[in-house]
A and B are shown apart, each in its own frame.
Chain A
Amino acid sequence: DAKTTQPPSMDCAEGRAANLPCNHSTISGNEYVYWYRQIHSQGPQYIIHGLKNNETNEMASLIITEDRKSSTLILPHATLRDTAVYYCIVRVNTNAGKSTFGDGTTLTVKP
């Protein structure tokens, strides 16, 4: 699986959009970008994933650059409950069980 680089921490004001970047410059053509988040003392929670097109669901939007070397997770209206560690993972879609997590980005949403 390709290596990812994320900033260790970010702050966001409540109600504003949170934009979390992830660099994955060594991504291969068949590797997907997955995002999970982990709220304190809970297991990671799936947010969204994509291959090359931008994706949106009820939780977030995923923007992947045209060269696929980086992506941005967007939480459109951050709430205090979005405070968590966010993990960006890059992997092929043949073995989800063996996912490589980095140290993620700690997002703190402030009132």
Chain B
Amino acid sequence: DAGVTQSPTHLIKTRGQHVTLRCSPISGHKSVSWYQQVLGQGPQFIFQYYEKEERGRGNFPDRFSARQFPNYSSELNVNALLLGDSALYLCASSAQGVEKLFFGSGTQLSVL
């Protein structure tokens, strides 16, 4: 079975641009969460979606938004990119949202 897949794997943007990151959860998993990981730090929670509804939001500005589709895949959108948004963006899925997480390999975003 395929694991959590994320695309693209790497992305380079300039300040002020917009970016969309995509995530496909493990088949049968209904919960998707997004995390930001800055170099040298642990992942920081951004959003969780379960059955297409937002279940939680971390301490991130409104420039960050996300959504989950009927097939449970998800997109993370970041507007008006700042240099500080450069990070590894991780997607994690779980079956019901209450147990262990399965992570993808992430999207490495560089903002120049």
Which residues on A are within 8 Å of B, measured CB to CB? 34, 36, 41-46, 49, 85, 87, 93-104
Contacts and interface: CB of A to CB of B under 8 A. Distances in A.
B110 interface: no
Contacts of A102: 42
A97 B100 contact: no
Contacts of A49: 100
Given A43-B105, A101-B44, A95 B99 contact: no
Contacts, number: 72
A96 B55 CA distance: 11
Interface in B27-74: 31-33, 35, 40-45, 48-50, 55-56, 58
Q: What interface size band does chain B fall in?
A: 20 to 34
Interface of B: 4, 31-33, 35, 40-45, 48-50, 55-56, 58, 90, 92, 94, 97-106
25 contacts: A42-B105, A42-B106, A43-B4, A43-B92, A43-B105, A44-B92, A44-B103, A85-B42, A93-B99, A96-B94, A96-B99, A96-B100, A97-B32, A97-B33, A97-B45, A97-B55, A97-B92, A97-B94, A97-B101, A98-B55, A98-B56, A99-B33, A101-B43, A102-B42, A103-B41
